[in-house]
Amino acid sequence: MTSDSRGAQLKPKILVTRAVFQEVIDYLSEYFDVDSNQSDEVFSDAELIRRLQGKAGVYANPTNLMSAEVIRSAPELRAICNMAVGYNNIDVAAATAAGIMVTNTPDVLNETTADFGWTLLMATARRVTESEHYLRAGLWKKWNYDSFMGVDVHGSTLGVIGMGRIGRAVARRSMGFNMKVIYNNRSRLAPELEAEANNARHVSREELLRSADHVVLVLPYSKESHHLIGAAELALMKPTATLINIARGGIVDDAALIDALSAGKIAAAGLDVFENEPAFNLGFLKLSNVVLTPHIGSASGSTRRAMADCAADNLIAALSGHRPPNLLNPESFK
């Protein structure tokens, strides 16, 4: 803390960029002078820069683009604490160059996000939303032997691209479905981790796409993973296969996926994330063989609260002179 001209202790000023649990605002207020945004306005870059003036910390949200320009425009900023495990909304290199600590919220959402990956996988494979729309529209008049035939999950091959903590949690759940698991990762897992992930086998990305009945994407977004799944990769997949994306928009070329789904090159897709979300490609709305959800993979009450608390604890540690628990750029901590 600093002191004013009368010697009174002044709390560091922080910005909370989007609405969050009021209890978290109250908790942060014990340590900081909080500029909150409980009206949940989505700040423009110019407004974000304006609100960051004089702030030592920012409690950020994935919708806030903490670009190099924004970071350069906030000279007093010392910490950016993201309420998410992903941090592709933050220019970490620019923050590091400015001596700003950057944190995320790993681990607390692994199991909930894996649950949701399976929610999408099951709904996609068994055509749940498509058949529900049919029923709600009053079109169900009789039972037919071939109505809404999907593809089996049990006994099939699950392919996981990105075998981090969430990917392994997805793979573990396949044991109950007697599935074979193959995965692609930057490096092979230790044998004991493969065993825990239903005896997962490391393969090339091309082999995974050719062999898997259900492909689940759980890898971080980066320049290297941008459009990792495009027209060429979709062409490798089985026409009966499904693609599930619970990772980040931009990993899949959405336009190429729409073309593949329209042409029946793959059976279906389940998507929780999109390029340029929330302004996603409206071509998806014309398709019946895609399940669409608005980035809710971690959206259980207990998990979102755990994420909010984790981000708050990171910010309190960072501005109290302690190393934050989830520091992404350790070189910034001095």
For 173, 203, 228, the CA distances from 206, given in Å and listed in that order, are: 24, 8, 11
What's the sign of the alpha-carbon dihedral 38, 44, 45, 51?
negative
Residues in the chain: 334
Which candidate, 293, 253, 307, places its Cα nearest to that of 276?
253
How many Cβ atoms are within 10 Å of 316's Cβ, its own excluded?
A: 21
User: Of the candidates 309, 279, 308, which has an alpha carbon nearest to the alpha carbon of residue 294?
Assistant: 279
Q: Which of 126, 214, 277, 304 is catalytic?
A: 277
Contact 57, 81 (CB under 8 A): yes
Q: Are 34 and 55 in contact (CB under 8 A)?
A: no
Annotation marks residue 277 as catalytic: yes
- The SS3 assignment for 289 reads coil
Write down the catalytic residue from 51, 214, 248, 304.
Answer: 248
The catalytic position among 295, 304, 322, 323 is 295
Q: What is residue 212's DSSP assignment?
A: -
Helical pair 128-136 and 110-125, crossing angle rounded to 10 deg: 60
Evaluated on CA atoms 214, 117, 244, 197, the torsion sign reads negative
97: phi then psi, degrees, rounded to nearest 5: -60, -30
DSSP assignment string, 161-208? E--SHHHHHHHHHGGGGT-EEEEE-SSPPPHHHHHHTTS-EE--HHHH
Annotation marks residue 248 as catalytic = yes
Q: What is the DSSP letter of 136?
A: H
The answer for residues whose C-beta is within 8 angstroms of residue 123's C-beta and 6 or more apart is: 129, 270, 291
Strands 79-82 and 57-60, bridge-based pairing: parallel
Angle, alpha carbons 205-209-210 (nearest 5°): 115
Known active-site residue 295: yes
d(CA 125, CA 214): 8
Active centre residues (catalytic): 248, 277, 295
